Each structure stands twice: as structure tokens, then as C-alpha cells.
Homo-oligomer: A and B are copies of this chain.
Amino acid sequence: MEFKHQPTVTLAEVAEAAGVGESTVSRVLRNHGSFSGKTRERVMAAVERLGYVPNRIAGTLASTTSRLVAFVIPSLSNIVFADVLGGAGAVLEENRYQAVFSVTDYDPAKEEALAAAMLAWRPAAVMLAGYEHTEGTAKMLRASGCRVVELLDLDGDALDIAVGFSNRAAGRESAAFLLGRGYRRIGYVGHDLNRDTRAGKRFSSFCETLDANGTPLVAHEILAGPSSVENGRLGLERLLAWATDLDAVYFSNDDMALGGYFHCLAQGISIPSQLAIFGYNGLDIGRAIPQPLSTIRTPRVATGEIAAQLIVSKAPPQAVDLGFELIEGATA
């Protein structure tokens, strides 16, 4: 059994107490339509006296319009999604929208199930990470008629709105930067790419760029789990165990790169002279370590904000490229 509410004050009771009609109370409370100043006062007094809290469930049903925005994100422990959620949440709050979320754990099947559960709330919009959805998910979203926002990726075809940046471009520019600095024997340390397809896109375009330069990737180490500092450390340790003459390593993101950085610190490998390190995301912590991390800063909070704004303002379908910024730190 679900939780059953104790009897609460209803709009009808407020109307009764204020000696006005229900619709009048509704108008006053939503500040919509016209009513006199004294009516307003009487209604507000009754609301105050009875401690009335409007029932949004009923309101949403009656108006068949929704101010819910559903987020279906891969993970919350990954700061990236927390940032996006935070950025979007702030904008939605200002506009009296409500954010609902669920976490897929990078599992497409789970994404489909959760998206379906979300649609049952008849949200104004559903926000998801990236373009890689099951066919069922895509079909369901299209049929739902609600707005769909795909976040943090622009390499693909959007269902409706897309906000983010190109991961392929990020991979490409990372490679170009390292090549420009003269590094030639480059390795890669990453986490599970089947699940994090955006990291996969970065990696493949990174490799293509190296190939085009005639200096293909020398070695890579891919760990099964999610990205983490510890996995980054471990990954670099393993990579260096057999690829002994690397001059630079590209990491799937800053968490991993920090792990690599710490490994070097602990092993006395000097950065960047012996080994250069390059990350992805531009986390704040990367700027606070003794040698600021060379990385690409992504507009995570802005992605959430813009996405929310587009929904709130009922913008037409579009893809918004927020770009990213390459940060020349001290590690590469």
C-alpha cells in the first residue's frame, strides 16, 4: 500500500470559508483572470487560516498541461550529470517547473523502462543524455508528443532538441593539441566505452586524428568499471607496465586523468617532461592541483540551463552547440 494522505484542505473548502466561488479562489491563487482587491484579500486570508496547499496533481490533470520535466540520466555520481541537473534545476525552479529524475546506470534497457515510467507522469519534457537510445525508447518518445531534449552530444540526429557540443570535435582537438605540442608516442586510458558512448566518440575521433597524422595511438588500456580517480591511476600503471616509451596519455576524462597524475606523482614520473597528461571535462579540481590539468572544459551547467530555457520558452526543435574550451594546463 502506498502512503495515504490525511484529509487535507481543498479548494472548495477555501472557497466556502472565503464566501466566494471555487473558480474565484483558483483565479486568485494563480493570479490569472480578473478579481477585485478585496476578494483577493478574503481568499488569501482563508488560505492562510486553513493552511491550504494547492493540489498540483489535480491541477495538472484538470488543465492537461504539465510543469514537470523528467530527467533520465546515466549516473548521479558522475559530476557531469549532477552539474547538468543543477543548471537545469535552477532555471526550472525559477519558472515554477518541477524536475523529476531517474538514473539508468548507463543501461539502455533500463533507460527505456525509466523513460516509459517518466512518460506516465505526462511531463512537459524528457531530458536524456546523448543520442544512443533503444529503438523502443525513441519510438515511445516520438509518440509521446512531449518535448525531448538530448544532452551533451551533438554527433547524431536529434529527436527534437539537442544541447551540448561535439564529442568528436573534442577528441579531435585533444589529439591536435597533443600533436601540436610535439608528442608522438601517445597512449590512452579509459573506462567502459560501450556504456559511455560519448567517451567512445571522443576516443575514436582522437585516434582518427592521430592516424591522419601518421602517428597512430601506441597503446591503450580500457578498464571495465566506471570512470574514477582510482581507475585512472590503475589504468596508467597498467599501461606503463608494457608501453614503456610513451610521451603522452589521453584519458577518457578528468577523473581518470587525475588518477594518472597522482600515479606519476607517487612514482616520481615528471610531468610533462617524462609524460604528458590530458583529460576531459575541465573539473575545478583539475585547476587546484600543483600543475593545472590540461584538458577540455565542457559547459555542463550551461547545458542544463540552456536546455531548461528552451523547454520553458517552448522553443522549436533545434540543436544548440555550446562548444567547449581547450585548457592549456601544465600537464601537457
- Which residues of chain A from 61 to 84 have any CB-CB distance to chain B below 8 Å in the complex? 61, 63-67, 75-77, 79, 82-83
Report yes or no: B121 in contact with A102, Cβ–Cβ below 8 A.
Answer: no
Q: How far is the CA of A218 from the CA of B78 in the complex (A)?
A: 38
- Which residues of chain A from 107 to 153 have any CB-CB distance to chain B below 8 Å in the complex? 114, 116-117, 119-122, 124-125, 140, 143-147
Report yes or no: A143 in contact with B93, Cβ–Cβ below 8 A.
Answer: no
Report yes or no: B122 in contact with A2, Cβ–Cβ below 8 A.
Answer: no
A-side interface residues, number (CB < 8 Å): 73
A75 neighbours in B (Cβ, 8 Å): 86
Instruction: Determine the residue in chain B with the shortest Cβ distance to A286.
Output: B229
Q: How far is the CA of A51 from the CA of B79 in the complex (A)?
A: 35
Residues A288 and B230 in contact in the complex (CB < 8 Å), given A67-B2, A99-B100: yes
Number of copies: 2
Report yes or no: B3 in contact with A125, Cβ–Cβ below 8 A.
Answer: yes
- Which residues of chain A from 155 to 177 have any CB-CB distance to chain B below 8 Å in the complex? none
Report yes or no: A99 in contact with B101, Cβ–Cβ below 8 A.
Answer: yes
Residues A120 and B54 in contact in the complex (CB < 8 Å), given A3-B314, A64-B4, A265-B290: yes
A228 partner, pick from B51, B99, B147, B284, beta carbons under 8 A: B284
A122 neighbours in B (Cβ, 8 Å): 5, 8, 55-57
Q: How far is the CA of A124 from the CA of B6 in the complex (A)?
A: 11
Report yes or no: B266 in contact with A290, Cβ–Cβ below 8 A.
Answer: yes
Is residue A53 within 8 Å, beta carbon to beta carbon, of the partner chain? yes
Report yes or no: A66 in contact with B100, Cβ–Cβ below 8 A.
Answer: no
Instruction: Determine the residue in chain B with the shortest Cβ distance to A51.
Output: B143
Is residue A285 within 8 Å, beta carbon to beta carbon, of the partner chain? yes
Other contacts beyond A2-B63, A3-B124, A56-B122: 5, CB < 8 A: A2-B66, A3-B311, A51-B143, A233-B288, A258-B285
A53 neighbours in B (Cβ, 8 Å): 116, 119-120, 140, 144
Q: How far is the CA of A140 from the CA of B51 in the complex (A)?
A: 8
Least distance between A69 CB and chain B CB atoms (Å): 9
Instruction: Determine the residue in chain B with the shortest Cβ distance to A89.
Output: B103
A284 neighbours in B (Cβ, 8 Å): 228-230
Instruction: Determine the residue in chain B with the shortest Cβ distance to A120.
Output: B56
Is residue A183 within 8 Å, beta carbon to beta carbon, of the partner chain? no
Report yes or no: A76 in contact with B85, Cβ–Cβ below 8 A.
Answer: yes
Please indicate which of the listed interface residues A82, A102, A125 has the most CB atoms of chain B within 10 Å of its own CB: A82
Report yes or no: A5 in contact with B146, Cβ–Cβ below 8 A.
Answer: yes
